[in-house]
Amino acid sequence: MADYAAPLADLDFQLRVVAGLDHVLSLPHYGGLDADTVKQVLEEGGRFAGEVLAPLNRGGDLTPARLENGQVRTSPGFADAYRQFSAGGWNAVPFEAEYGGQGLPWVVQTALGEMWNAANLSFALCPLLTNGAIEALIAHGSDEQKRTYLPKMIAGEWTGTMNLTEPQAGSDLGQVRTKAVPAGDHYKITGQKIFITYGDHDFTSNIVHLVLARLPDAPAGTRGISLFVVPKFLVKPDGSLGSRNDLRAASLEHKLGIHGSPTCVMAYGDDGGATGYLVGEANRGLEYMFTMMNNARLAVGLQGVAIAERAYQQAVGYAKQRVQSRDVAGSSGSVPIIRHPDVRRMLMTMKAGTEALRGLALQAAAWIDRARHAPEADDRARTQQLLDLIIPVVKAASTDFGVEAASIGIQVHGGMGFIEESGAAQHYRDARILPIYEGTNGIQANDLVGRKVARDQGAAAKIFIQMVQDTVDELDLYTDEDFAAMRSALADGLAALTQATDWIVRTFPEDPRRAIAGAVPYLKLFGLVAGGWVMARNATAAEAHLGSGSDETFLRTKKTTARFYAEHLLVQAPSLVWPATQPATVLALAEDQF
């Protein structure tokens, strides 16, 4: 398997020209932080990803986590790598200094997260889930809970999980049955949870589980779910660890991929009930979990970008080394397959799609920073609108592309890609979960159409559409054929998105089922146009820097890649208007006709 090299040049470029890093750093909240410091952080993060995490990726696939005598033992090298990760302060990057965090912007955390996930997706899931648990406690935990858990979790001394679903529930959390019975100053938790990532491991001395459960008098459905902190080991008043709580990993799932990440079935209350502590108010647990969904879904979308980058790097490495067949233009003998046009087409598809969605993820992360810390309330509110709108697009478009890129990577390898020893198959197997968890991509599409477009009559979508239109207008200022191609494709894609958006706004109030039937094509259309918007901004920034002493080859490559995206990916956007707005046949058959 090819080594992983962090794409620092592209991350740095897109942080500046797409995400607006300088603007983020100028927010008063980040006073004193400069771009040079961020660059150094990213370089060190890339080194850690390439030298420590990436070499463990294949071993994690071949030697999965295992359950021995009630204790999960992680893949060889993972626990030591986690100790290095925590010692380096990487778990503390985006959190406030009040609890031991470093206080860096989420856009920086997002760039780092891509590198860690690309290097070793199975490993990176542990800090990803811990970050989500930290966010939930920051937003809704009591002062005592924050003092007890946050410093240890932010330091990486303890990890966190989210215990949401159960065997009968799936994505329908209204069916959760886990019980929470009052017992003085705490609750006794009994029930079973499934699909709990890093529900047990040997990284740290304690694991802080956030568990959804029902109180005895709770109303039915999602309105009756509460959130509880349930630590693996109880914590004494002085902060030291006490007795083992009544919870255990009952089994590990045998999965298609991400073998190095232990996915646990968790049992609570075998001996009378696990001790848990209510977070916030009763019956508001699902609401609390949704407060950190933007970050969690962005993180999963980022995993799609990461696996696409890893698969691309491996495919390029193989294509440059594999010698097979003569050049169609003529050659004295067989040539490296990277000289064959169809291999070039596949590699360019992987490269262009990855760069577009990387930029979109970084833009979303910058909006998180602005929505939280912009001085003006109107700016915060408008940015939050855009963030809420784009998150399901980032999650679904990026994870769908991650699977596609990993599949293309196998194709570049030819028959060797289907052989496990090449390593290409691992990326595909690891990627396949991404469109499923943290809300399936069908759920993301429903969310985009029903909650993010129809609910506000397209107000947020119109703000985004105008931003894209401004970029189309900017492309008019350039006369060369690269920009003409980009402008044509982006203008046509934007017209298609506008048409489909207007149709949803009209249709959803009268016939929501019909509008939802076209939700997935609509999200795909939205993602293609959003990616085209990112790539056009890449191209105009590259053009502006040509002749300035910057890396000319890098800048010209950015322009060419942006044009390829426009001519080979973005041009598909208008074809999606029909399936997005004319979904009658989706609903035409009776159930017994399937």
3-state helix, strand, coil split of the chain in percent (to 5) is 60, 15, 25
Chain centroid to CA 409: how far? 20
3-state secondary structure of 480: coil
Nearest in space to 468 (alpha carbons), one of 569, 379, 390: 390
Distance (Å) of CA 346 to CA 46, 319, 403, 410, 468:
26, 11, 14, 11, 27
Cα–Cα distance for residue pair 55/60, rounded to 1 Å:
10
N-terminal to C-terminal alpha carbon distance within the chain: 43
Q: Is 457 helix (H, G, I), strand (E, B) or coil?
A: coil
In the residue annotation, 43 being an active-site residue is answered as no
From CA 584, how far away is CA 592, in angstroms rounded?
A: 18
The distance of Cα 582 from the centroid of its chain, to the nearest Å, equals: 30
Question: For residue 433, what are its two tokens?
Answer: 């979960």
Structure token digits, residue 382:
């408008």
Catalytic residue among 166, 438, 552, 567: 438
* Geometric angle at alpha carbon 37, from 35 and 38, rounded to 5°: 65
- The owner of tokens 């956007």 is 573
Beta strands, E only, 40-100: 66-68, 71-73
Closest CA to 251 of 265, 261, 263: 265
Please state, as a whole number, how many other Cβ atoms lie within 10 Å of the Cβ of residue 253. Answer: 15
Active site residues: 438
